[in-house]
Structure 1
Amino acid sequence: MENLLDSDLLFVGVGVVVVFLGLGTIIYGIVSWLKSGKKVSNRIEQFVNAEPIVSEGGPKRPMIVQREISGSLFNRTIVNWFKKILQFLGRFTPEKLVVDLEHKLTIAGNPRNMHAGEFYAIRFLAFVAGIVVAFILNRDFKNIDLKMLGIGVIIVLLCYMYPTVWLNGKVRVRQDEIQRGLPDALDMLSVCASAGLAFDQSLLKISGYWDTDLGHEIKRVTKEMEMGISRATALRNMSNRLDVDDLSRFVAIIIQAEKVGMSYADVLHSQALQMRVQRQFRAREIANKLPGKMLFPIALLIFPAMLAVILGPSIPAIMDLFSTL
């Protein structure tokens, strides 16, 4: 009887998940069908209202612009369908959270071209998946096992927190990479300025020389300046996108030097020297923290092995000594 009850509860849990996914699929299908009708009507209207062209010796005919189909069938169907579901679920995210998360995704370099709504939708789906797994593990409500209950809670927490931990790791790695590459970039800027190149030309030189995140951001600055955005605004946009302290200070000093009319070569030389000194201090700080970080692995892994090697041969003699007493 209890086995039947457990199987019924399992079927109920699976049924709830299937119903949830089925309703989502039906809603998405209806919305897609309505949108597809609009797309077809717009496509027909473009065909009817297209400007006619005259072929040599032939009648006038409307011009048809063909669409290029790129990507595999899986990407154009399953992946696209999954992205649409994520966008639909992301609409229910509060606006303030969306703004903060968009900024964090920008700092991380927009991994997988993900938006804030899609990220929150993935987090929600991971949370639901964790709840389903925890429910399956603890389907016997009459005989609750505290160990399995704790495992279920841990699974739910891990599924809920993993997307945020993954994103924070991406942000930290990208910021560290940009911070490590900034002194070398300033050295090259200083050399270019000393050689007689203007600041804009120096930025363009670096963006074409380095295929790194910092090089891509500098290339974006040059593109914005080519579009008519002022140099100060483009640099400030880069500082806001990356949120790196050293880069923010450098941008502030460059903007201030531009306002007062200082020489870029002198400013870049002093900034490059300062960044190299800060990188040395940062490396020393990391080295000074290593002994404290090595204490726990030594105490937990190395000391027990040393004690086993040292005291192991004497254990039989000690046991014989106590057995004779």
Structure 2
Amino acid sequence: MDYLLSLLESVIGDPQLARLLFVAAIGLSAVLAVVTLGLLVTGLQNPVQRRLSVLKRSAHQGGHVAPSGLQLMLEQVGGRFGNPDEAAGSSTRTLLMHAGYRQPAAVQAYWAARLLLSLGMLGAVVVAFPFIKGISVVQAMLLVGVAVGFGWLAPAIYVDKRKQARMNSLRAAFPDALDLLVVCVESGLALPQSIDRVAEEMAVSHSELAEELALVNAEIRAGIPSTEALRHLADRTGLEDVNGLVSLLAQSIRFGTSIADTLRIYAEEFRDRRTQAAEEQAAKLGTKLIFPLIFCLWPSFFLIAIGPAIIGVLKAFGGL
């Protein structure tokens, strides 16, 4: 406390005014902290609020899922950022959906996590100030800014990395699912039964894609048209390959053409695109190897090849 007070006095220049502002800030912070914790605890312990949360989640997820205290707290804090219904089509909702977070309160929990982590990092830095010797006001402000920025950006980076990993996993599993779908359709199964069978077969090797296909089959059984259910699949995954498949299947269903022929043609085109992508990556390999060669291999090579000659020259000139 004394260290923070000395920093404030050095900035303001008036010791009495600095102490008055310091006491006022501590009192306001204590009041706000008590009120916030009281509201959160009251909301978490209120059986009516918990029951409403359970009913709301069960309406979206098809079962009574009891939310944890942390989930309720994040949803209550994040709910201050906006209405969940208004954020249904937002870019944050799309980002979280591509990352695998499809819960109704995912957007609120995401923003609440960013806010609480930023405040937690700020509190940790303020507590650590007395243990840091010789730090100036500018350095302290810079450290606070870095800590708050890290707390604000860390959840976004984590969600983006999770999105990329999930999309790569779905992209790698899509060719196998497409081949199995072609076999099932050509054997006489309808499209919903084929999707269900492929989801069962891929539940162990590619669980994420199997879950998405199972959701498509559940929507079809619930009465949603096949084309709309497949478009929902494309929206949830965000893959261009799935968008192309959905467009072809929608046209095939609309005009009454053979789904097996459509799937076979798309499978051949997808194999060609996969081969072209592999050839493109192979062509880029030579360019990507330039930097490791320059900074890692060539210095070692020149050291081994020219090093003895340089040592001999230095010895020869040193003996003159």
Cα 1:8–1:110, aligned 2, differ >3 Å: closer, same or farther? same
Structure 1: segments with no counterpart, 5+ residues: 43-75
Does 1:275 find its partner at 2:270? yes
Does 1:110 find its partner at 2:104? no
Query: Whole-Å Cα distance in 2 between the matches of residues 202 and 251 of structure 1?
Result: 15
Equivalent residue for 1:30? Answer: 42
Give the AA of the match of 2:194.
Answer: S
Moved more, 179-188 or 124-133: 124-133
Give the AA of the match of 2:171.
Answer: Q
Cα 1:313–1:150, aligned 2, differ >3 Å: closer, same or farther? farther
Equivalent residue for 1:210? Answer: 202
Does 1:264 find its partner at 2:259? yes
Cα 1:297–1:164, aligned 2, differ >3 Å: closer, same or farther? farther
Equivalent residue for 1:121? Answer: 112
**What secondary structure, in the 3-state scheme, does the structure 1 residue paired with 2:81 have?**
coil
CA deviation profile, 1:261-299 (whole Å, cap 9, x unmatched): 101111111011111111111222222223333333333
Query: Whole-Å Cα distance in 1 between the matches of residues 308 and 127 of structure 2?
Result: 49
Moved more, 144-153 or 88-97: 144-153
Equivalent residue for 1:292? Answer: 287
Give the AA of the match of 1:240.
Answer: D
Give the AA of the match of 2:38.
Answer: I
Does 1:251 find its partner at 2:266? no
Query: Whole-Å Cα distance in 1 between the matches of residues 233 and 28 of structure 2?
Result: 44
Query: Whole-Å Cα distance in 2 between the matches of residues 147 and 308 of structure 1?
Result: 42
Equivalent residue for 1:82? Answer: 70
CA deviation profile, 1:188-242 (whole Å, cap 9, x unmatched): 2222222222222211211111112222211111111111111111111111111
Query: Whole-Å Cα distance in 2 between the matches of residues 323 and 17 of structure 1?
Result: 75
Give the AA of the match of 1:195.
Answer: S
Cα 1:84–1:255, aligned 2, differ >3 Å: closer, same or farther? same
Q: How far has the Cα of 1:245 moved from its partner?
A: 0.7
Give the AA of the match of 1:228.
Answer: G
Cα 1:4–1:191, aligned 2, differ >3 Å: closer, same or farther? closer
Residues 44 and 69, structure 2, Cα contact 8 Å, conserved in 1:
no
Moved more, 182-191 or 151-160: 151-160
Give the AA of the match of 1:107.
Answer: H
Q: How far has the Cα of 1:9 moved from its partner?
A: 6.3
Q: How far has the Cα of 1:4 moved from its partner?
A: 5.1
Cα 1:160–1:16, aligned 2, differ >3 Å: closer, same or farther? farther
Q: How far has the Cα of 1:153 moved from its partner?
A: 4.5
Query: Whole-Å Cα distance in 1 between the matches of residues 300 and 69 of structure 2?
Result: 54
Equivalent residue for 2:162, pick from 148, 170, 184? 170
CA deviation profile, 1:134-178 (whole Å, cap 9, x unmatched): 545666798528778766644443332221111111111222222
Query: Whole-Å Cα distance in 1 between the matches of residues 140 and 304 of structure 2?
Result: 38
Q: How far has the Cα of 1:250 moved from its partner?
A: 0.6
CA RMSD of superposed structures (Å): 3.9
Q: How far has the Cα of 1:253 moved from its partner?
A: 0.8
Structure 2: segments with no counterpart, 5+ residues: 9-21, 53-65
Q: What TM-score comes out, normalization by structure 2 length? A: 0.73
Give the AA of the match of 2:236.
Answer: R
Equivalent residue for 1:183, pick from 160, 175, 190? 175
Q: How far has the Cα of 1:324 moved from its partner?
A: 6.0
Query: Whole-Å Cα distance in 2 between the matches of residues 196 and 292 of structure 1?
Result: 48
Query: Whole-Å Cα distance in 2 between the matches of residues 316 and 23 of structure 1?
Result: 75
Give the AA of the match of 1:219.
Answer: A
Q: How far has the Cα of 1:247 moved from its partner?
A: 0.4
Residues 7 and 137, structure 2, Cα contact 8 Å, conserved in 1:
no
Give the AA of the match of 1:117.
Answer: Q
Residues 175 and 244, structure 1, Cα contact 8 Å, conserved in 2:
yes
Equivalent residue for 2:3? Answer: 5
How many residues align? The count is 285
Query: Whole-Å Cα distance in 1 between the matches of residues 162 and 29 of structure 2?
Result: 33
Query: Whole-Å Cα distance in 2 between the matches of residues 291 and 145 of structure 1?
Result: 50
Q: What TM-score comes out, normalization by structure 1 length? A: 0.72
